[in-house]
Amino acid sequence: MLLLFSSCLAWDFYYITGAPSFDKKELLPAIAVNSIMEHLPKGVLIDKLDKNREPHKETRFTIQGGGRVEVVTWKSAERVLDVTADEPLVVRFRTFNFPGWTAWLDEQKSEIKTEAGSGAILIDVPGGRHRIRLAFRDTPVRLAGKLISLATAIVIIILSVNIPRSRKGGMT
């Protein structure tokens, strides 16, 4: 036993001392990963984002044209605005247009446009009083992922409950 232990220790020492070593510069990547760009939709340019806003005064939307907007609801997956437009205008949501966002203008499904460069959601609104509802819904891919995760969790629970029972009765 001592001979086996000694030979394993000698082989480990041989492989460890012969392994190449690296200094800190060789271990760090030359170009760091930009963690900000990692979670942006395709086509968004970092220099087009709203960076010059005051942190305590967050602008959730802007309007291009004459009118007034009142926030009714502003949640992570749903935004509702009441718009009074003197003329046709465009409401720009400070929200990236990821797949899954759906818009309604006066309870009628409305087209969502994407602002070039920033990826912000744009909604065209005709003149008059209107209600815009923007909601984030599951896409077919997200729904399939949730169902697969649920099925996997159920299988794991069933297996973890049944395994201890079969071990108890197996050996006497």
Listed by start position, the domains of the chain span 40-138
Contact between 121 and 101 under an 8 Å Cβ cutoff? The reply is yes
The contacts of residue 142 (CB under 8 Å, 6+ apart) are: 100
Among the four given CATH numbers 2.40.390, 3.30.390, 2.60.220, 3.30.450, the one describing domain 40-138: 2.60.220
Per-residue pLDDT of the chain (172 residues; tens, 9 = 90+): 788 878 877 777 666 666 666 666 665 555 555 555 566 777 777 666 665 555 444 567 788 888 888 999 999 899 999 999 989 999 999 888 999 999 999 999 999 999 988 888 999 999 999 999 999 999 999 999 999 999 999 999 998 887 665 555 555 4
pTM of the complete model? 0.63
